[in-house]
Amino acid sequence: MDVEIARQRGLPVYERIEDIPPLGTSTDADPAVTSAGRAGIDVPDHRGRTALDQTGRDLDRNPNVIVRDVELTSAGWHVLRRTTFDYRRSDGTWTTQQRETYDRGNGAAILLYDLERRTVLLTRQFRYPAYVNDHPTGMLIEAAAGLLDADDPQTAIRREAAEELGVAVGPLTHIMDSYMSPGSVTERLHFYVAPYSAADLTNHGGGVAEEGEDIEVLELPFDDALAMTTNGAINDGKTIMLLQWAALHGPFQPQSRH
């Protein structure tokens, strides 16, 4: 990873080996306390954010949930919070519970398909979280996707398709939204599909080098890609959902072949 990218992501950068702290030592990726206040709460953190401990305090949509406290436990590139709340159980009794939530923002994913040639465009890239959790190589085959940042979902997914796949996407079809890991991750993912043709390939894709991305573009026969969801070659959740939707309800459902 480039040093400047590391700094932008709030990661510690050390000039000398002897400056690296021992394992278990906290770094500036955790909420830092300064003379002016706590970064990310009272004063801007490395991404210019404040009041990160206020998210969720005013929630009142569910009468069976009363938020009592929100604690910011980490504010690196994304945000980890510990929330204390009262919850009324189905038998009417109240309990006090705590949950940690990982807030990385919302995202969008897209499956690009060529109905005439029965192909789809996917990506392959290294995913360290998968690698550290028993994936043989960490190289996952996925649909193009990314975080919204400050954009709306359609703008964001057009950006990601151009950066990762090299495709200028035309009309989009929104098919669903989904919470991918609702037990701990706040992210809501917006799913899209869109047609493409060889004429839409404006460049080679591959991601943004300045962000450390190194993405391979894969054009696969749809039937092969769908089969890969059952033999383990494709084991990314959002990609499985998009391919199965395309087979059951989308452009490759049986009646679409006639």
Q: How far apart are CA 52 and CA 109, in angstroms?
A: 26
Would you kindly state where each structural domain of the chain is located, as residue ranges?
Answer: 3-103, 107-257
173-185 tens-digit pLDDT: 999 999 999 999 9
Mean pLDDT of the chain: 87
5, 9, 153, 211, 230 from 1: Cα distances, Å: 7, 11, 28, 8, 34
Q: Rg for the chain (alpha carbons), in Å?
A: 21
Q: How far apart are CA 174 and CA 79, in angstroms?
A: 28
Q: Name residue 165's amino acid.
A: L
107-257, CATH topology level: Nucleoside Triphosphate Pyrophosphohydrolase (3.90.79)
148-166 tens-digit pLDDT: 999 999 999 999 999 999 9
27-86 tens-digit pLDDT: 444 556 666 688 889 988 888 889 999 999 999 999 999 999 999 999 888 999 999 999
Given a contact cutoff of 8 angstroms between Cβ atoms, the answer to whether 172 and 113 are in contact is no
In percent, how much of the chain has pLDDT > 70? 80
E strands along 104-202, which residues?
107-114, 119-126, 139-142, 144-147, 173-179, 188-195
Q: Name residue 37's amino acid.
A: G
Residue at token pair 């391979």: 216
pTM to 2 decimal places: 0.82
- Residues near 144 by beta carbon (within 8 Å), at least 6 away in sequence: 109, 110, 112, 121, 122, 123, 157, 160, 161, 164, 165
pLDDT confidence band for 15 (50 / 70 / 90): low
